[in-house]
Structure 1
Amino acid sequence: MKTTQGKRRGGWGRRVATGLLGTALVLGAAGAGGYSWLRLTSEPRTAGALTAAGLGQSVQVTRDAWGVPHIRAQTDEDAVFALGFVHWQDRAWQMDFQRRVAQGRLSEVLGEAALGQDRFLRTWGFQRAALSALPALEDRTRRLIRAYTAGVNAAQAQGKVAPEFRILGYRPEPWQEVDSLSWSKLMAFDLGGNYEEEVLGTRVVERLGEGGLDAVMAPYPAGAPTILSADELPLQAAQPASRLPSQAVPPGALAELRAHLAAARALGLQAVPGKGSNDWVVGGARTESGKPILADDPHLALTAPMLWYLADLQGGGLNAIGASIPGLPAIVIGRNERVAWGVTNVNPDVQDLYLEPEDATFRTRTEVIRVKGQPDVTLMVRESAHGPVVSGAGAEGLGPRVALKWTALAAGDTTMDAFLGLNYAQNWPDFTRALSRYVAPSQSFVYADVDGNTGYYAPGRVPIRRGWDGSLPVSGDGSREWQGFIPFEQLPHVYNPKDNLVVTANNQVTPPGYPYALGNARNWSEPYRAARITALLEAKPKLSVADVQATQTDTLSPMWPDFRPLLLAARPADDEARRALEALRGWDGQQTVESVPSLLFEAWMMGLREMARDELNDETVMNSLSVLNQLRGDGELCAVQGQGDCASLLTRTLTVALTDLRERLGPDMTRWTYGRLHQVASNHRAFGKVSALAWLFNHSAPTPGGTNTVNVARPEHGTFRQTHGPSYRQIVDLSDPDRSLYIGSLGQAGSPLAPHADDQMKRWIAGEYLPMSTRPQDWGQARTLTLRPTAGSSTP
């Protein structure tokens, strides 16, 4: 076992520094005057009146005290036009960067340092998949996308330019309709990790045999909570899925597959063990008001600017408020006047790697990647009948072709129809009809309405496999093909459950007996969060919004009771280790910023999660459940090069953890408080690792919570930073929807110079919220901008 806690991870962002340093120094030399000029030329107009080409009738955009726009229009098209307008005003760089990621065009503006990412993105074909989705969408969706696109371009025509464009020295292109679908493909990738699990699983089987899979990637425990119970599903005899046969992946091909993962990680996608989300709905029989309460907090990368953009839209028939994503013409998570919804990731297995036989036929296309300051790079991409060749795609004879089959890359993705349909839903039939258009990434949707109904649905295309479980690569010879998809009507769902409670935390969806396999036993997150949420919600006979708020921000470690007896039984190597064990002995499990034991626990766990590194000869980080199983069973992974046991591992890793903390924080253990190292890192995608600019664009502060707390704040391995977490929180009170609550992780504005760049962050850390209200009296000090159509203008 290797211990590498003290190492800092590099990445492509750091290499971008060379091209930006000169610009940054010039900007810094300009002093306050330079920043004032930059702010003046980038800050959007938020009061008064503007004319906008493409608008049908006048629209009022009232930004409240936190910069949240409340849009009031006569038609739905004009409301969505205004959403596109304010998205570009506040998040132009984010929108352009996101579409460049999907297009694989980062090298054009960031230079050679981003070439590896562009190769990965072009090979997978995210933009091609987005283009194929447009023709399949419903007429209403196409109309609203056109209106949104016109709104974005009308804002772009105002001439304000985000600071990033000036620093990088380019102007963005006009928005295209396909750009509103592009980022959803990257979201599907970020929320679907089976490709990564297959790559890791291949290495595990190669080194440890088939039995090593369950050791390194622990299966979901029998008897742990599932989202739906046996009495909520029509159960049948499930068909067993064999794990093998799999196909051996040669080392060269495996290295290429891992290179794709490295490129994704450089973009902040995937590679976070245990990341996930929470949502739940409580029926009126369990609440003080007698009406449902719905809560949601999606756990995603914490970036600057934040992913989400809070908004309130009212048009002719559209009346939705909640969290939007800049670039998308819809409220993604939120409510309308009758219905509320929340989403978490299901993570079914919708990806498969196929080793194509020598006689397989391929389609070939050529991608030309423009590189700033360098000659163009030509990339040849092959596609088999299964999908893009992600390994061995070069000239003939360079190795086996490994192709990826994935639901999100298939033509005809109608997921945008689903999200826009939710904005209009008035009842459960409307809600489920909208979700029937959903493709990827599969999500756990919770539902509640003002009439008191609650429900749950897990929509999306989930393949049916016969004879193998999808956990490892297979031959592309035709013997292991998908047998269609689980019919929508038979996907997991429940309406008005008898116990008036649905809790989801990326845990296993269905109990044994469900007739289809959503994934293998290692697809699901550890059950700790789901169990803790359920226990808190069942602790009182009647729940209030305040109770739900306390649950959503809970920082008690549900892992600690399992690990406590094992860790406290460790043999200390010296007096420092004895003091650490005594501190842990008195710990109540609360992961607060002032807690010393919380830091000791997380630092020790980092070392323990590395126990498979010697066996795999890589940097694998095991999850907590896998570590627990090894410690409880004195497993073979505790040994180092075949020597030692779990007792000696505990002693050694505690010593390494304490040495690391001493080097970081000094010799006085009483000052090793959690918040000194555990701090949110909402970093800029392009400038976050450029020292001359990071101080301006990044945002950091001590945060509570830890691995598997309900308020998820898993420390990044080796740095202790919180890079992922509740990117958005909402609590919807169906007894009075305008008393609902929401909050983002940072702020509405994208520019670091804007007043709303980070004004939600302190509230978010403290577990406070903003009013999720459509009533002007709840908006605080507000500014109103009136958008007026130009003469003869109309929405396309």
Structure 2
Amino acid sequence: MLKNLLKVAAGLLLIAVLALVAGALYLRSQTLPQLSGTLSAAGLGGEVTVTRDQHGIPHIAAQTDEDAVYALGLVHAQDRAWQLDFQRRIAQGRLAEVLGEAALEQDRFLRTWGFQQAAQTALPALSERSRRLIAAYTAGVNAGFAQGKTAPEFLILGYEPEPWTDVDSVAWSKLMSFDLGGNWEQELDNWNLCHKGGSRALTESSPPYPSDGVTILSADELPVTGEDASAPGDACPAGDLNGHLSQLRQHLAAARELGMAAEPSKGSNNWVVSGQHTESGLPLLADDPHLQLRNPMLWYLAELKGDGLSTIGATIPGLPAVVIGRNRQVAWGVTNHNPDVQDLFVLPPNADVTVREEVIRVKGGEDVRLNVEESEYGPVVSKLGDAADAPRLALSWPTLMPGDTTLDAFLGINYAQDWNGFREAMRAYVAPSQSFVYADTSGNIGYIAPGRVPLRQGWDGTLPVQADGEHRWNGWIPFEELPQTYNPADGMVVTANNRSVPQGYPHLLNNDRGWADPYRARRITELLNEKAPLNLADMAQVQNDTFSGPWQDLRADLLGAPRSRLSDRAEAALDRLAAWDGVLATDSQAATLFEWWLRGLKDMGQDEWGQTLSTRAVAEALRTDGPLCAVGGEGGCDEVLAQTLEYAAEQAEQGPFYGRIHQALSAHGAFGEVEALAPIFNTSVAAPGGSDTVNVARPSREDGTLNFTAAASYRQLIDLADPDASLFTGTLGQSGNPLSRYARDQQAGWAAGEYLPMSMDPADWGQTQVLRLQPE
């Protein structure tokens, strides 16, 4: 009897396995695109060859630039159709149409801010060349959509993507600008601090940038006035804005649901060194933008070759250009500059506003009507009450203003042949302000931080202000006076979101609390100087460095924790830390202890101010026995150290080795929290690094782990002496389809600090697949 039952069970299991295999094969047949052979494409001017290398990276060869960009649109649609549509729906505020009521709050936020309207005004302002290339890209995307292969997400949700439009390409650049420009959120935090603790709270929770902190540019590279225009303001205004800010906090929550809110791990490193520091005598350039990890990954690696274009690097699905990379003469890297370009204005009750009605369609529900108001200061992003004269809060931000020509700049640098051409392309740049490093095959290096940065007079943008004559923007910092340098005497430019300008720079970039702590910039500079003369392997070691600057800064104070107040477990933890080398490796137990301890110390600010402290605020409090140590009662900092170490030692027992509880989480935008689908569409991998290491992997999860969701989203290392020896990598893979072999094939190498060839030479591509596109 038992034997027969086992046979039946085995048979049922076999049937289930066969059904799963058949289902997977069916999904593959319906969703995986054609990667080889010949494909007819409507709107194509001439034959194009798309050669995918062993990692699915397309090398596009066309007779014209328009056809090359057309083919980029087509391969984006082949590999990232869902990403294209999902990003477009974010910009349009149309998520609820396909995801239902769960996405309604996100749509309200996105419609209120008006990203799609801003994109519509930007398109006519672009150059004729840009509009021509965007149109070619649009035709390519739609040719890809027309193949009949569809992403699994479309099958699951039961709809097909609408045709792509030129405005859709511009719209996604607006969302990237939001992702990298969070000063409005800082204004919310600052107001909360003022409300709870006055001006003192501002300084204690986030100290101004240190006077001896490393800056990107030195005084001999910029005009100085002797007065520091970036001195932080310290006056908290009278009155209570909490009522105004409640709706805006809802917007912030919605942005976080989309992975768009600012967080400390977002930022980036890039640097460039001239031949005076290299083995070859020609420059080396590195870049690794730190952004939200997601599945599919943000970046798409590609090479474009037409009659004028010859570029390779990181593209973004939706945009018709290499955003970060090189052509045959010049290379560039991009990090967030982060000047304060957003201000919240409290409008008077009688302020003139225009109103437009937005209709949000909700899958499975009733349409929702939304009245969106626009003022001379920008969109009204928060309102107290429904009365006609209710106070309103408006947002000024260059990204939402007409005439944004940023895409002209990105397309322009793809064509640049030298510094003059590169710099001229940067004149068109509007937002988000970025730190660009530059190098060329003639041996030159440079740096520029383009973008519209407002001129303020008599106020610093720290907090929301009244919309009156005293608080207005008076134009933009002139292009020639933006931070920039060419062939600096020291032969090196290092950026890590640290302060870009020295004391005495004549313009206000931000209130001096908006810069990242200088740990990464300091470490990169030290390593580059130590390792010189440099080669590409040295650059890789620097880019993947996981030595903890915060540990170096806090070590003496932490190891001074009072042993008389510690349990045996905490004492053992302290001994382990005393012997630690400060490297946050996946097999380290001390790394686990330190990051738990640092989290506990940063949370000191929650009791006092309602928000987490910066690392330097923790260091300052411990060093001076500052007021924040009062959370330890009469025991002061000693008691705080003892309590937080006990907490760290307890947490570390649950997962002693760092890599077990410190993993890079890449979640799917729609299915990331759907129990049945998350295991298919989400992915994770153990990775080194931590808070403020060069290889940033700051723990960000509040789920009993030290997992992180923002990190180096792309890495590149470019050798101007031998450009085809250059290297790059993404976080996951080229395909957004979990059934594709190219969906996650870069992930393990990324976590281990490995790279792929960034080469235009077919000899470096490995096994290839060739798709020939022919005009229909």
TM-score, length basis structure 2: 0.95
1:684 maps to 2:664: no
Partner SS, residue 587 of structure 2: coil
Please state how far the C-alpha of 1:260 moved relative to its aligned partner. 1.2
1:549 maps to 2:533: no
- 2:726 maps to a residue whose letter is S
Distance 1:394 1:433 in 2: 48
Pick which of 530-539 and 353-362 moved more.
Answer: 353-362
Return closer, same or farther for 1:435/1:247 CA change in 2, 3 Å cut-off. Answer: farther
1:608 maps to 2:597: no
Which residue matches 2:774?
788
Asked if 2 retains the 8 angstrom alpha-carbon contact of 1:367 and 1:378, the reply is: yes
Pick which of 267-276 and 127-136 moved more.
Answer: 267-276
Distance 1:488 1:465 in 2: 16
1:567 maps to 2:558: yes
Please state how far the C-alpha of 1:198 moved relative to its aligned partner. 0.4
Which residue matches 2:744?
758
Please state how far the C-alpha of 1:202 moved relative to its aligned partner. 0.4
Partner SS, residue 743 of structure 1: strand
Distance 2:635 2:468 in 1: 44
Asked if 2 retains the 8 angstrom alpha-carbon contact of 1:277 and 1:344, the reply is: yes
Please state how far the C-alpha of 1:646 moved relative to its aligned partner. 1.6
Return closer, same or farther for 1:248/1:738 CA change in 2, 3 Å cut-off. Answer: farther
Which residue matches 1:344?
335
- 2:181 maps to a residue whose letter is G
1:204 maps to 2:193: yes
Distance 2:174 2:428 in 1: 16
Unaligned runs of 5+ in 1: 1-26, 666-671, 791-796
Which residue matches 1:81?
70
Which residue matches 1:794?
none
Deviations 1:384-418 (A, max 9, x none): 11011111176216842111111111110000000
Asked if 2 retains the 8 angstrom alpha-carbon contact of 1:382 and 1:393, the reply is: no
Asked if 2 retains the 8 angstrom alpha-carbon contact of 1:253 and 1:399, the reply is: no
- 1:356-375 paired onto structure 2 within 5 Å: 356-375=347-366
Which residue matches 1:36?
25
Which residue matches 1:713?
697
Which among 307, 317, 320 is matched to residue 311 of structure 2? 320
Please state how far the C-alpha of 1:234 moved relative to its aligned partner. 2.2
Which residue matches 2:419?
428
The runs of 4+ residues in structure 1 deviating greater than 3 Å are 27-30, 237-249, 641-644
Which residue matches 1:4?
none
Which residue matches 1:703?
687
Please state how far the C-alpha of 1:537 moved relative to its aligned partner. 0.3
Distance 1:731 1:279 in 2: 10
Which residue matches 1:195?
184
Deviations 1:216-239 (A, max 9, x none): 122111111000001111222446
Distance 1:531 1:150 in 2: 46
Partner SS, residue 612 of structure 1: helix
Which residue matches 1:21?
none
Which residue matches 1:22?
none
Asked if 1 retains the 8 angstrom alpha-carbon contact of 2:243 and 2:384, the reply is: no
Which residue matches 1:13?
none
Deviations 1:35-72 (A, max 9, x none): 21111100010000000000000000000000000000
Partner SS, residue 538 of structure 1: helix
Please state how far the C-alpha of 1:635 moved relative to its aligned partner. 1.6
Which among 204, 207, 229 is matched to residue 218 of structure 1? 207
Distance 2:227 2:68 in 1: 47
Which residue matches 2:46?
57
Please state how far the C-alpha of 1:735 moved relative to its aligned partner. 0.5
Asked if 2 retains the 8 angstrom alpha-carbon contact of 1:678 and 1:702, the reply is: yes
Distance 2:401 2:384 in 1: 20
Asked if 1 retains the 8 angstrom alpha-carbon contact of 2:690 and 2:697, the reply is: yes
Asked if 1 retains the 8 angstrom alpha-carbon contact of 2:228 and 2:505, the reply is: no
Please state how far the C-alpha of 1:271 moved relative to its aligned partner. 3.9
Which residue matches 1:655?
646
1:451 maps to 2:435: no
Which residue matches 1:741?
727
Greater relative contact order (Cα < 8 A, sep 6+):
1
Distance 1:450 1:304 in 2: 35
Distance 1:518 1:244 in 2: 19
1:90 maps to 2:79: yes
Which residue matches 2:659?
675
Pick which of 692-701 and 519-528 moved more.
Answer: 692-701
Partner SS, residue 645 of structure 1: helix
Which residue matches 1:491?
482
Asked if 2 retains the 8 angstrom alpha-carbon contact of 1:28 and 1:34, the reply is: no
Distance 1:341 1:166 in 2: 39
Please state how far the C-alpha of 1:28 moved relative to its aligned partner. 10
- 1:579 maps to a residue whose letter is A
Distance 1:753 1:128 in 2: 36
Return closer, same or farther for 1:675/1:524 CA change in 2, 3 Å cut-off. Answer: same
Which residue matches 2:583?
590
Distance 2:280 2:239 in 1: 58
Distance 2:384 2:738 in 1: 41
Return closer, same or farther for 1:213/1:642 CA change in 2, 3 Å cut-off. Answer: farther
Return closer, same or farther for 1:576/1:398 CA change in 2, 3 Å cut-off. Answer: farther
Return closer, same or farther for 1:198/1:345 CA change in 2, 3 Å cut-off. Answer: same
Partner SS, residue 580 of structure 1: helix
Which residue matches 1:10?
none
Distance 1:247 1:390 in 2: 22
Partner SS, residue 166 of structure 2: coil
Unaligned runs of 5+ in 2: 1-15
Asked if 1 retains the 8 angstrom alpha-carbon contact of 2:40 and 2:774, the reply is: yes
- 1:270-669 paired onto structure 2 within 5 Å: 270-392=261-383, 395-396=386-387, 399-571=390-562, 572-616=565-609, 618=610, 620-640=611-631, 644-662=635-653, 664-665=654-655
Which residue matches 2:217?
228
Distance 1:641 1:256 in 2: 35
Partner SS, residue 773 of structure 1: coil
- 1:681 maps to a residue whose letter is L
- 2:183 maps to a residue whose letter is N
Which residue matches 1:170?
159
Partner SS, residue 43 of structure 2: coil
Distance 2:263 2:602 in 1: 13
Which among 133, 136, 145 is matched to residue 122 of structure 2? 133
Distance 1:121 1:266 in 2: 12
- 1:171-186 paired onto structure 2 within 5 Å: 171-186=160-175
Distance 1:218 1:731 in 2: 34
Distance 2:228 2:346 in 1: 25
Deviations 1:135-160 (A, max 9, x none): 10000000000000000001111100
Asked if 1 retains the 8 angstrom alpha-carbon contact of 2:312 and 2:327, the reply is: yes
- 2:270 maps to a residue whose letter is D
Deviations 1:93-148 (A, max 9, x none): 01110010111111111111111111111111111111110010000000000000
- 1:111-130 paired onto structure 2 within 5 Å: 111-130=100-119
1:99 maps to 2:88: yes
Distance 1:32 1:689 in 2: 25
Distance 1:458 1:730 in 2: 20
Please state how far the C-alpha of 1:683 moved relative to its aligned partner. 1.3
Distance 2:26 2:749 in 1: 30
Deviations 1:713-757 (A, max 9, x none): 111142311211111000110001111111111100010110000
- 2:51 maps to a residue whose letter is T
Return closer, same or farther for 1:717/1:31 CA change in 2, 3 Å cut-off. Answer: closer
Identical columns (%): 58
Distance 1:772 1:659 in 2: 45
Return closer, same or farther for 1:151/1:235 CA change in 2, 3 Å cut-off. Answer: same
Please state how far the C-alpha of 1:458 moved relative to its aligned partner. 0.4
Partner SS, residue 210 of structure 1: helix
